[in-house]
Structure 1
Amino acid sequence: MTGPGSTALRQFAFTTRAHLAVDDATGEPIGLDDVDTRVGWLLDLVTAAGAELVSRLWHSATFDALAAGLDRQDRRLPAQGHVAAARLGWTPSYPDGVYVPSRVTRVVTAQVMTTLRTLAYRDTAIAALSARFDAASGAVAPPIGSADYVSAGFARGVRRQLIACSRRGGGAPAGRLRITDVQGPPQTSAMARLSAADRQLAQITAAERELVLTVKLPTCPAPVGRVQWRRVRLTAAIPAHLHGRAITDWHLPTLVLDRRGLLWRCAATELVPAGEPKSAIVAVGVDWSPSTLGAAAIAAEGPGGLSSDYRGWTYDDRGLGVKLARLQAEGQMLHTKAARLTRLAATAPPAVRSQLKEKIAILDEHRTAVGVKRGKINRELAFHFARQATDYAAAAGAQVIAVEDLSTLEARGRGRVNNNRAAQSARRQAVAALAHTAAGVGITVISVPARGSSAWCPGCDEPLVRPGGYHDAWCPRCQVGGNRDHLAGVNLAKRALLGRNKATRRRGQMPAVRVAEHAPVRPSPDKHGPTPSRPRHRRVRRSLPTVTRRLGVTPNKHVPAPQASVWDTVKPTPPHGDPGSRDTRLSHTICHWCGR
């Protein structure tokens, strides 16, 4: 159904935790610590069986079967992983005497098939690149046909693998290599995707703003019979930001254990306004800026063609980008130090080796903690940017948001440090958050080519000059200019409007415009976009003179306010619980001397 007021289904993910657990048969309460232990036993069985199956299937015939996409009866393999594994005869094995339900086996094979299907693309690329690899020079020849093309970043990573493989072999590799020749089996994560099972293993219901998950868990580390698998009913609260949303279906979660215990990674389907990119007349282009996460500008289509006021909006990351860079440098330092201690421990005496291993373990724990902090900041930064960009587009009446294609965007030519910082930014998370947030208001996010977006003029498609430095751009012919990121946003919005009827969409991906078309964008004096909100600083009273304090007398005079800072704004603090805001807790500080 299309047209004004139409709706569409979309899936989204969220996390929650159980606050109540009872035995489904007897109704007796179970401690959450006991539930964590039983879930840990389940994850141990799933992880061990998955690792054994991946190790057993780690040969070229496995990837040949996946590339062919046919089973033993020459039937097309289905999309469901556990069904495809059953047709191919790929079943996991368990220790002798251990009983595991068949639905748990479905979970294992579904996770293994997801991993192998993901690596099948890498196997094909490695085979194509190894045929053009020269071990003497360490270079890869250009592709002959379009079928052998891979992205430059992916090719560089495979080239490093081929160089390391040739060094280990002591010469040039013989023939075409496969992924099984250059790397070992991947490690499997400790998780259980219950979505591959049915009601015999798990089921979920929603009632009174709570989710009730009934799942079958083992009662011991090595269950020997069906009796030692009992159903547990877990109750978790639905997050507050999902209250009142048109959710049509709740899906079975993925169970993982973190430092706080059992975590549900859930998914749900909801009704959202249907986007209509083919009828879009206003588009917002989002450019990934090297100075901040992103900047945006607007282009509109009218009777006279495309026009723009060339006034953009720049995202303020509130200092989170600097914090990410600091944490990244700290993580790299910890990694370098741990690698150096590992090399020293290889040739150290036994007593010194044990001490070095203890230090390496501490460094690994610190590096893991830094990674957790970076992940939280990346998510916060992504959703805060998505909320700001979506509000900007909705205020402008845009139907489409154009973002740069990240597969064609590489951080190169700006030095080792800046290239690394740009590559480690939260752009991919920001794209996913932007697509999710914009879909909630009926705006479609489209990927467009990034090449030349900040180097060519939106009006005449000629190279821009930089009279004021890197961040400024000017076109002498069209007499338009300003911030280079804002001009890039106009170019991206123009490409989305011109290619909206030719956009392609693959399953699980956002619509994409593959070819960048050109049409002149005239500067319009009319205001198309909203005025970006700017912080208003507190006023400073400078007219009153400074009064000298008199000794022994309590002055009843006005004191001039301190000089305003750029961080002093009258904007309220974002509310607690907002996914795009930091958790700010205000606490009263008690003086230890006076007790106040």
Structure 2
Amino acid sequence: MADAGLPALRQFSFTTRAHVAVDDATGEPIGLDDVDTRVGWLLDLIWGAEAHMLSRLWQPATFDVLAAGVDRQGRKLPMQGHVAAARLGWTPHYPDGVYVPSRVTRVVTAQVMASLRTLAYRDTAIAALSERFDPATGTLAPPTEPGDWVPLGFARGVVRQFTARARRTDGAPSTRLRITDMQGPPQTSAMARLSAADRQLAHITVTDAVMTLTVKLPTTAAPTGRAQWRRVRLTATIPVHLHGRPISVWHLPTLVLDHRGLLLRCAATELVPDCDLGSATVAVGVDWSPSTLGAAVTAAEGPEGLVSDYRGVTYDDRGLGTKLARLQTEGQMLHRKAARLTRLAATAPPEVRTQLEEKIAVLDAHRTAVGIKRGKINRELAFHFARQVTDYATAAGAQVIAVEDLTTLETRGHGRVNNNRAAQSARRHAVTALAHTAAEVGIAVVSVPARGSSARCPGCDEPLSRPGGYHSAWCSGCRVGGNRDHVAGVNLAKRALLGRTTVTRRRGQLPAIRVAKHAPVRRCCDKTGPTPRRPRHRRVRHSLPTVTPRVGVTPNRYVPAPEASVWDTVEPVPPHGDAGSRDTRPSPAPATQVADSMRST
């Protein structure tokens, strides 16, 4: 890898839990159950005021103000949500007689402004698409202005909403629609983002791998005065993998409650090496695949132009993709069954309706558990993929990793099963994890156009043939080819190297290359990419069969296998004749000795 530039800043998040709680004024210890109760009272106040404020501001005038970005005096709205809400006069309401500090009001308004600003884009898109929608045919007219373009997947979802609304109104022509006409106020979860407040509500200190959070919590469900808000000092342990990291800033956490109690969602900013995209000479292209998560290939720029060995590495998900498909099928089955019981409960007698509602609640709980499990597997899959690609790029000496632009990537034409599986893959989680992991070693991640990456030859830019089916690619003119995903990765790496001087950066998004340039990529006989380690998965026996040999009969020789998991990874190559697991077994012992030793115990 080339020499990294000046240090850059990278933000990341982690979770932890408090294990000690004391009263900040008296120093008396507080039980964690009492802390959970007091945090629950705080979240109830915030969630109730937030829901009431969203329903009150759910009108077109709100989104007009946010789209304009100015207040009544024509001044630009600040980025801080609570400051912008105060300037616009948007304040939350609380129950009568309840006292809430002004810093808690900052948290409420900041969370409401974040939700409304996120939905402002959807409101503008719905208003533009409603003018091009024909209720009679259910189709959209082509856009006339460049600003009217929206992602096709987003447009299809809005068209489904338009069609359902036209069906409810008997296809009557409508005027310009807004988001308030299509859906109700968003449902938010109970949380408290302390980052919107100052030290009067919460502050944090970190010493010796221990984080101490001091936060003001209510002592009753409906506090009536300032005396019923007291400071609590929470002590939590910082995860081991963060010890010794060059962290410059520790941010205030977000408070949430789950089935285990109080959870602190923390964030921090650390220093990482910076990479100059303009001087990149080696790139890794990551192509998303419908069969697996992705494949990575290298391309380099030399004195004779771009070269690549067209041999990459395909990610092995260790069976997690199959598990995700099974959980998705199970969740869809639970959804269909709950929907059917809901339809039956609508016309059932009161006694039967009560029983059906209990069954529906159980099904919803199971479906929620399946969704949580899928989220955990997706996160594990994304970071495992990111680590493998980052290690591959580091071994190849790459300075940039190119990924396909997900806004233009659609899953269609591969059959119902493959389309569904590819659409549910954790691609966006993988991109976020890849950008986070690669920044640690000074490698930049950019998005490049995806169109034609799997269909055109990297050498002559002509259409490829498929002599071996969908997963193969061959160019008869350049006489290059191989795996379809590997050829696409070469195209993506080429576009990153050719467009490294025209990178556009937007807040909250990856650096992007908008135009796909072409230059021939010569196939190099020399090896330009690293050889990844290919672990082998073997199923092994967990226990020794308890067989008592019969007298006078020569028993079979049972050789016990060491304990290992089902997905045991064998990294070293075993010696000749050894078919064991991770370690080399000693010389096999006769089964008689094994049986005698078991009998003596």
The alignment's TM-score, normalised by the length of structure 2, stands at 0.91
- Aligned position for 1:364: 364
Q: Counterpart in 1 of 2:71?
A: 71
Matched residue type, 2:529: G
| 1:400 paired residue number | 400
Q: Secondary structure at the match of 1:72?
A: coil
1:173 and 1:257, CA in 2 relative to 1: closer, same or farther beyond 3 A?
Answer: farther
1:308–1:528: 8 Å Cα contact kept in structure 2?
yes
Corresponding residue for residue 588 of structure 2: none
Tell me how far apart the structure 1 counterparts of residues 244 and 463 of structure 2 sit (CA, whole Å).
50
With over 3 angstroms needed to count, the CA separation of the structure-2 counterparts of 1:476 and 1:595, relative to structure 1, is farther
Match of 1:422 in 2: 422
* Identical pairs, percent: 78
Alpha-carbon shift at residue 291 of structure 1 (Å): 1.2
Q: Distance in 2 between matches of 1:314 and 1:177?
A: 46
Q: Match for residue 238 of structure 2?
A: 238
Residue identity in the other structure for 2:343: R
> 1:463 matched to which residue of 2?
463
Q: Which residue of 1 aligns with 2:337?
A: 337
AA paired with 1:377? I
| 3-state SS in 1 of match to 2:74 | coil
| Partner of residue 583, structure 1 | none
Q: Is the 8 A contact 2:287 2:489 kept in 1?
A: yes
| CA shift for structure 1 position 63 | 0.4
Residue 26 of structure 2 is aligned to residue 21 of structure 1: no
> Hey, what's the Cα distance between the residues in 1 that align with 2:59 and 2:556?
86
For residue 557 of structure 1, report the CA deviation from its aligned partner: 6.9
1:577 is matched with none
- For residues 556 and 426 of structure 1, what CA distance do their matches in structure 2 show? 49
1:309-348 pair list within 5 angstroms: 309-348=309-348
Question: Matched residue of 1:500: which SS?
Answer: coil
Could you say which residue in structure 2 is the equivalent of 1:294?
294
2:32 maps to 32
Aligned position for 1:580: none
| 2:46 match | 46
Deviation at 1:435, TM superposition (A): 0.2
Q: Residues 318 and 567 of structure 2 are in contact (CA less than 8 Å); yes or no, is this contact kept in structure 1?
A: no
Supply the distance in 2 between the matched residues of 1:236 and 1:178 (Cα, whole angstroms). 46
User: How far is the alpha carbon of 1:529 from its aligned partner?
Assistant: 1.1
Task: Give the drift of 1:127.
Answer: 0.5
Who is 2:226 aligned against?
226
- Could you tell me which runs of 5 or more consecutive residues in structure 2 were left unpaired when the two chains were aligned: 541-548, 573-597
Partners of 1:456 and 1:441 in 2: CA distance: 32
Return the letter of the residue paired with 1:512. Answer: A
State the shift of 1:302 in Å: 0.6
Deviation at 1:133, TM superposition (A): 0.9
- Displacement of 1:313 after TM fit? 0.5
2:270 counterpart of 1:270: yes
Secondary structure at 2:481 match in 1: strand
In structure 2, distance between residues paired with 1:426 and 1:207: 36
- Gap change, CA 1:240 and 1:222, over 3 Å in 2: same
CA contact (8 A) 2:401 2:445 kept: yes
Q: Pairwise CA RMSD of aligned residues? A: 2.3
Choose 104-113 or 161-170, whichever is displaced more.
161-170
Alpha-carbon distance, 1:555 to partner: 6.3
Q: Aligned equivalents of 2:385 and 2:195: distance in 1?
A: 31
Cα deviation, 1:107-164, whole Å, max 9, x if unaligned, reads 0000000000011100001101111111111111111111111110010011111111
SS of 1:245's partner is coil
- The answer on whether the counterparts of 1:504 and 1:513 sit within 8 Å (CA) in structure 2 is yes
Q: Quote the residue 2:523 is aligned against.
A: 523
In structure 2, how many angstroms separate the alpha carbons of the residues matched to 1:58 and 1:537?
54
Give the CA deviation at 1:3. 7.3
Q: Deviations over 1:497-532 (max 9, x none)?
A: 000100101011110001111000000112111111
Query: What code does the residue aligned with 2:139 have?
Result: A
Task: Provide the C-alpha distance between the structure 2 equivalents of 1:468 and 1:520, rounded to a whole number of angstroms.
Answer: 24
**Mapped contact 1:245–1:270 kept (Cα < 8 A):** yes
Measured after TM superposition, the shift of residue 594 of structure 1 is 9.9
User: In 2, distance between residues paired with 1:360 and 1:550?
Assistant: 57
Structure 1 unmatched runs, 5+ = 541-548, 573-592
Give per-residue Cα distances to partners, 1:536-563, cap 9 Å, x unaligned. 689x9xxxxxxxx99536669797999x
Quote the Cα distance in structure 1 between the aligned partners of 2:370 and 2:43. Answer: 25
Q: Which residue of 2 aligns with 1:570?
A: 570
* 2:478 counterpart residue number: 478
Return the offset for 1:472: 1.0
Preserved contact between residue 4 and residue 275 of structure 2 (Cα < 8 Å): no
Residues 97 and 224, structure 1, Cα contact 8 Å, conserved in 2: yes
The structural deviation recorded for 1:172 is 2.5
Match in the other structure for 1:176: 176
Partner Cα separation in structure 1 for residue 456 and residue 265 of structure 2: 44
Question: In the TM superposition, what whole-angstrom CA distance separates every residue of 1:2-52 from its partner, at most 9, and x where no partner exists?
Answer: 974521111111111111111111111111111111111111000000000
Matches within 5 A, 1:423-502: 423-502=423-502
SS in 2 for 1:272: strand
In 2, Cα distance between equivalents of 1:180 and 1:569: 53
- Post-superposition CA distance 1:163-204 (Å, at most 9, x none): 111222233242101111111111121101000000000001
Alpha-carbon distance in 1 for matches of 2:95, 2:123: 31
- 5 Å-filtered alignment, 1:537-552, equals 551-552=551-552
C-alpha distance after superposition, 1:364-415 (max 9, x if no partner): 0000000010000000000000000000000000000000000000111122
**Residue in 2 that maps onto 1:117:** 117
Which AA in structure 2 matches 1:51?
A
Whole-angstrom CA distance in 1 between matches of 2:20 and 2:173: 58
Alpha-carbon separation, structure 2, partners of 1:559 and 1:39:
57
Q: Which residue of 2 aligns with 1:139?
A: 139
In the alignment, which residue of structure 1 is the partner of 2:93? 93
Q: 1:569 to 1:105 in 2, by over 3 A?
A: closer
* Counterparts of 2:226 and 2:270, CA distance in 1: 37
Q: 1:585 aligns to what? A: none
Contact 2:5 2:276 (C-alpha < 8 Å) held by counterparts: no
In the alignment, residue 421 of structure 2 is paired with which amino acid? R
- The match for 1:305 is 305
Question: Whole-Å Cα distance in 1 between the matches of residues 495 and 355 of structure 2?
Answer: 59
Change (3 A) 1:320 1:554: same
> Larger deviation: 165-174 or 217-226?
165-174
Paired AA for residue 65 in structure 2: A
Structure 1 residues 384 and 560, CA gap change in structure 2 (3 angstroms): closer
What is the alpha-carbon distance in structure 2 between the residues aligned to residue 534 and residue 399 of structure 1?
A: 24
Is 1:136–1:172's contact at 8 Å kept on the other side of the alignment?
no
- The residue number in structure 2 matching 1:212 is 212
Alignment partners' CA distance in 2, 1:567 and 1:224: 58
Closer, same or farther: CA 151–594 of 1 in aligned 2, 3 Å: farther
How far did residue 569 of structure 1 move?
Answer: 4.5
TM-score (norm: length of structure 1): 0.91
Residue pair 2:290, 2:419 contacting (<8 A) in 1 also: no
Are the equivalent residues in 1 in contact too, given 2:290–2:421 (CA < 8 A)?
Answer: no
Amino acid at match of 2:279: S
What is the Cα deviation at residue 535 of structure 1?
A: 2.9
CA distance in 2, matches of 1:423, 1:227: 53
Change (3 A) 1:42 1:524: same
Match of 1:193 in 2: 193
Aligned counterparts of 1:383 and 1:324: Cα–Cα separation in 2: 16
